[in-house]
A and B are shown apart, each in its own frame.
Chain A
């Protein structure tokens, strides 16, 4: 118990560290700084002194840059509009207050007419209002690459809300950047000064400054009073779930996209406590550590992309295996990371949390990118977003190949992602497809003693047969219908995912002579695993909004269903011949998952909201074990089983079929709730509780098992701070959490995957800090976790106590003003990403090495061209990305090495990549 107290204290200290760091930045160290914090008035929300609340934008259609105007356009062009918003929230009329020519005026009016608002209100009553809207069109020629604009550092004006006509003016952007800095949106709204409100209409006050994308990503106020960040604001965009508090991260990398990220999975590192390792090679799913969970390749994290699930239920390599390599990083517009199971939308596998990628293409037109670099690496990327279509319409093709560093790390993969997003009346529909192919080799692990004795090199391999062939094909269709007070969403999807994996963690250890086998020596432990998964499913929701207590209240009821048809085998392969000699498993599984949830967002007032609800999950299993009998106590003398793996006899040689079917089902109810409070401007807090479930591996299913899943109970409390210091947006947040899991997963080297273990408890703190200014975007996070087995109090191996991550970028869109005067400003950025991981606990009381990596990227761009040079592992540190401690026998000694020793998978040495990007056509 004292130990627990100590680690709670540590977590508190870690939390305090994060908050103090944030406070130190947010508030000057003057004596009255804290007083000012307390005395800060509650957010004005959107209520003026007369009790009239401004209309709130809930749907926005991006204006389309007039194609006919593009060639002549030089720099940004603004159109000011006066729009009348009805008491029903629709735009009933639009007047041009400041023209920019017919083409631009028409484009702006056409878009704004399709906007929808939560109407202005006087008291409880909705009233008509007039607002002033400024639309800024940035010339395609001056626009920065779409991907840079994607996120965290939003285009200055793009996030500015429409403001009431009588509002005070705000003529500068959120960052004060010049208009040309607005890089990627077809058009952007800004808030220039405007004329007084038209007579006869409510003079709605100005909405408060909206969150920038940077702080929007961390906003935890009960209800955003400003329009959503750019990706959410489009009429076509999906409606995001309201924040669950300080552990809910809506990540929009923004300029941080410049930080070297090897794949889409790496974006996870913007959330605190995330460590990614990979002993499986270029196309193998990243092993994710989140919030004190060794989630391996996704077993404890629910992954999805555009609503389509990524986790593979029943994958023999790991139930919930999630490979995100098929996602083209440049098509990621945002990523929601919910740490902890606090949102009823989170389904199976959301034990540590969930990650949902939102895909789109911000830079319209054609983007071609070619990368060449170390170790024979090349990458060719083509992105196309037709002009006039929304960002949800895109096609991307990504081809990658490398010879890899060291031995046996060659790989090649290709990915195609395409989606069409259209609108018909109140309906928005999306039809998408993906195809992904990967084939690569893997070095696997090395014994530390072999490396120290120079028997192997740091980047060598023991078994060159290790590798993987994986592919993924999916189609999806989605329909969103936006009615006055209701949003209805349905989505269906189908996924095919064949995969073959070959890995050897133990060398020659797991094949001892059994009495019933013919005499043999150790034949080798290479696992040849094949998993063929076909998935169909659907999800949907109905969201109803209304007002009560003078506040908007929301109820969402949703469903999720999927069926997985999985065929999987795992065999051991003889080193000398390459022939399989033993079948470890041969399963054919039909898995069902049906989830229903209800989620409410109840607001008592401007600063207090209760969010949460209940999720019910029904999991069904129908497993045909085609290798049900692998040994017999008393085999037949006349028909001995010999070396066969899947036997057709039982005790004393009695015949039986080698197959056996088992089926079972289990249901779980998972309550989840968050209380979010924000009585002080820029300060909000949250407390939350939630239960998550993880279905079990089909291989563990026994007939009518009572609870075929594991559950996790998580509690947390957090504090979030946001402040604008001059032109710098600063946000910080800190969360204390504790999670108890009744059946945890522990890595088994002999199985090459996580196996079920006992109960566990994790206590810790996650902290983030982000500062965004005109020319920089800095983000850091720090997480401390104390993860122990509940019965023994011993640490859970492999889970790092401390993870620290820093991402930062300096950028300018006007490197050469003279060039800008001629129409094209050069732009550039310098970005860095650094990760520090404290020594990880390993089995048998061992500790791994600390890990520190530093990546760097520099880009310069002009007009349609951009050149980038990135360097990963700048310090060329020879680091151990994955560390283990177990027994293996790679013939390091004359006899089997049977006691646990350190093993590692090598991290990549320094590598340099040069990328040339060309943008053609489209709006910026």
Chain B
């Protein structure tokens, strides 16, 4: 019969980077804090979009997206453990970022297309 593993420490050395038994209360406190930050960020984004007038709506959009980026960074770094991961994962993500940037660059090229702009301006 297998024994119950309740309250036994994590198996050392079996998880790459998590070599230490976890302090559940402390870890969950951190996650709750990050969750609180994300909720706070969401409220701020709502306020920026509806109740704060920065003079130009593009500034509101930029600020809203900046807050969203900070929130996404928190999720990635803390919840997805990207603050202490192995190099391979960063390399995989780097390729994704490069491809994404290339895709957005193509989009910018389409927007700057002189032929499209020329015909677009015709009455």
* A and B pair up: no
Residues of B within 8 A of A (CB): none
